[in-house]
Amino acid sequence: MDPEQYEIRVRGRVGKSVLSRFDGFDAEVEPAETVLRGEISDQAELHGVIDRIQGLGLELVEIRRVADK
């Protein structure tokens, strides 16, 4: 299965030290949210990212699969 592009939004501005825990993802810090973009290869990896978000105490706003650019 080929990896698919995902966009993950979390509430608030996430600092660089926390963003470093999301290796392979690009991050864009917006006024009210931080957007992570990257490839996720399967459901197990997706659940791992969700677990990491929860473990870091971040509030998940949205996860969506996006078309490759």
| pTM to 2 decimal places | 0.89
Please answer whether residues 13 and 34 qualify as being in contact, where contact means their C-beta atoms are separated by less than 8 angstroms: yes
Alpha carbon 8 to chain centroid distance?
4
Given this model, what pLDDT does residue 69 score? Answer: 56
Domain of residue 50, CATH code:
3.30.70.260
Q: How many domains are contained in the chain?
A: 1
* Six token digits for residue 49: 């990212």
State which residues form the domain around 19. 4-66
* pLDDT of the chain, 69 residues: tens digit per residue: 789 999 999 999 999 999 999 999 999 999 999 999 999 999 999 999 999 999 999 999 999 999 865
Query: 44-59, pLDDT tens digit by residue?
Result: 999 999 999 999 999 9
